[in-house]
Amino acid sequence: MSEAQETQGNGTYDVIVLGAGPVGQNVADRARAARLSVAVVERELVGGECSYWACVPSKALLRPVIAVADANRVEGARQAVTRQLDTDRVFARRNRYVTDWDDSGQARWVKSIGADLFRGHGRIDGPRRVTVTRDDGSQRILSARHAVAIATGSRPVLPDIPGIDEARPWTNRHGTDSSTVPVRLAIIGGGGVGVEMATLWQGLGSQTTLLSRRRLLPRMEPFAGELIERSLTEAGADVRIGVQVTALRRPERTSPVTLTLDDGSELEADEVMLATGRTPATDDIGLDTVGLTPGSWLDVDTTCLVKGVDGNWLYALGDVNHRALLTHQGKYQARTAGDAIGARAAGRPMDDAAWGDHATTADQHAVPQVFFTDPEAAAVGLTAEQASDAGHRIKTVDLDFNTAQGANLYADDYQGHARLVVDLDREILLGVTFVGPGISELLHSATIAVVGEVPLKRLRHAIACFPTVSEIWLFLLAAYQRD
Ligand SMILES: Cc1cc2nc3c(=O)[nH]c(=O)nc-3n(C[C@H](O)[C@H](O)[C@H](O)COP(=O)(O)OP(=O)(O)OC[C@H]3O[C@@H](n4cnc5c(N)ncnc54)[C@H](O)[C@@H]3O)c2cc1C
Ligand SMILES: NC(=O)c1ccc[n+]([C@@H]2O[C@H](COP(=O)([O-])OP(=O)(O)OC[C@H]3O[C@@H](n4cnc5c(N)ncnc54)[C@H](O)[C@@H]3O)[C@@H](O)[C@H]2O)c1
């Protein structure tokens, strides 16, 4: 990062954005599109966790693992896969996608939209004021005419396990920036990070143990975790469900880590990775100066205004509001809030009724998510359990993918499963889950159906091409009608 990319001095702006991850960048862009002046404050790398230690590097590393798995599912192609993955080249590919952890390209982008970038730690200092403290201790004071948008993201939760400091655990940071493959890796936590990291490191050659106190991917339909568990086990990973880690030990810096489990057994690994959830990066951003609790998730309204703060000036977007810890959902909030900030600044009325321009309605009804495991798991909307708990009268339709010829042509012996959750009163879809190889690109069709509340009677006329994996739609809808 060069000094030239950075703005000096104090200043007054229409909008101040705290955090230049994908979410901060998007709200800045939208506010600039509304012709507002914007300051962006970033203490680490412009691009955030997503670009350098989460979505981008993890997917860059996973892709070669999945590509080989895909080839192995096709007779004739399988015979061409004759060697192990070239891990040096896999890591080099990852390094290219994270631009060697150099953010100058993204910093130039901030400049290109006409926003000013301030490097340093941002803290709110009372209404509409932000101080920026640089590494050398010097400070800038910024004021906002219209809005401060908090987009400071989240950090890994460090659970209270005795010996955790001594064990020097990996988090998503080493899990995505390491260029060495541990011989034995133990991963604690069976959510999205746990299952993707287990797929990745087992695929790169680690003997991986995944330890989960609950079923895998507990927020998805149960069959998602079950299929991934089966496939990880077939790939050679040791998946243990219903276990807790009660202590960690690494007496010497170079010695292996010993994990004690709640059944009294011990497990030795060369590295241990925490995948035990996220905590908001709001502990040191001056929330107390505006009557909020440091370290808390920020409760927001549909335009992403923080509740409990007067004056319609404080917004919270992305991971910090805990609505959906996903880049695409945070960027949606950022686009919506950026437009809302522009409208409020211009004195225009809010369009914040459900599905309006200034409403983040999809956060409640249609959050799409893909886990890039093998098989992939993708879902949008409600699971059957969530829909029932919400009081909907539902019917579920379940099918294995191998009913569709497109799936069988895609992979020999295709293993995958799909579920529709149908609202019986309105005959629309409340949720859809797909698990199987190559299904991530299928999800957007389901998202459109759920967001558009497309009646099933009409959806029948949306024809999937023969012979594609999408043909599963035809069979799911036929099964619904038949019943
Ligand atoms: C391993 C892993 C894989 C993931 N994969 C996916 C995926 O495939 N798809 C997906 O949608 N989501 C994925 N996620 C989730 C995704 O990374 C987050 O939802 C996303 O990064 C949130 O974006 P954000 O802008 O809110 O926060 P961040 O990306 O965390 O950015 C916040 C920025 O704010 C800065 N900051 C923090 N405090 C301050 C301060 N006081 N002053 C100045 N700057 C500050 C930080 O340095 C950082 O740059 C993954 C997460 C993990 C851990
Ligand atoms: N492809 C993607 O979209 C993608 C990939 C990875 C992560 N993410 C997102 O990032 C966020 C963080 O993911 P995550 O997996 O860290 O969090 P998570 O909350 O999804 O899962 C954490 C898991 O760890 C378990 N856990 C917590 N404390 C534990 C302990 N002491 N011992 C054992 N297990 C413990 C929890 O029960 C939970 O199952 C999620 O919201 C996820 O959706 C998205």
Beta strands 129-133 and 121-124 are antiparallel
> What spacing in Å lies between the alpha carbon of 223 and ligand 1's midpoint?
28
Per residue in 162-199, pLDDT (tens digit) is: 999 999 999 999 999 999 999 999 999 999 999 999 99
- Residue 467 to residue 475: CA distance in whole angstroms: 13
Does 147 sit in the ligand 2 pocket, CB within 6 Å?
Answer: no
Question: Domain coordinates of the chain in residue numbers?
Answer: 3-47+103-155+280-362, 164-276, 375-482
Which ligand lies nearest the alpha carbon of 188?
Answer: 2
Asked if 76 and 155 count as a contact pair (C-beta separation under 8 A), the reply is no
Please name which ligand lies nearest the alpha carbon of 131: 1
Q: Report the CATH superfamily, name and number, of domain 375-482.
A: FAD/NAD-linked reductase, C-terminal dimerisation domain (3.30.390.30)
The strand pairing partners of 423, in sequence order, are 394, 428
The residue whose C-alpha atom lies closest to atom 38 belonging to ligand 1 is 152
Q: To test the ligand 1 pocket, which listed residue (49, 109, 155) has its Cβ within 8 A of the most ligand atoms?
A: 49
Ligand 2 centroid distance, CA of 194 (Å):
7
Q: What confidence score (pLDDT) does residue 5 get?
A: 58
Q: Distance (Å, rounded) from C-alpha 152 to C-alpha 25?
A: 11
The CATH code belonging to domain 3-47+103-155+280-362 is 3.50.50.60
Task: Tell me the pairing of strands 207-212 and 238-241.
Answer: parallel
How many C-beta atoms lie closer than 10 Å to residue 393's C-beta?
Answer: 11
**Nearest-CA neighbor of 191 among 167, 234, 224?**
224
Matching residue, tokens 């490191």: 201
Minimum CA distance residue for ligand 2 atom 41: 325
189 Cα: distance to centroid of ligand 2 (angstroms): 6
Predicted TM-score (pTM) of the model is 0.97
Domains 3-47+103-155+280-362 and 164-276 share a fold: yes
Q: Give the per-residue pLDDT at 480.
A: 96
pLDDT at 7: 74
pLDDT (0 to 100) of residue 1? 42
Ligand showing the shortest atom-to-Cα distance for residue 118: 1
In the chain, which residues have pLDDT < 70?
Answer: 1-6, 9
Q: Three-class SS of residue 368?
A: strand
Which of 152, 157, 325, 373 gets mutated to test ligand 1 (max ligand atoms within 8 A of its CB)? 152
CB of 124 sitting under 6 A from ligand 2: no
Question: Under DSSP, is residue 134 helix (H, G, I), strand (E, B) or coil?
Answer: coil
Q: What are the angstrom distances between the C-alpha of 401 and each of 160, 404, 444? A: 42, 6, 17
Q: What is the CATH number of domain 164-276?
A: 3.50.50.60
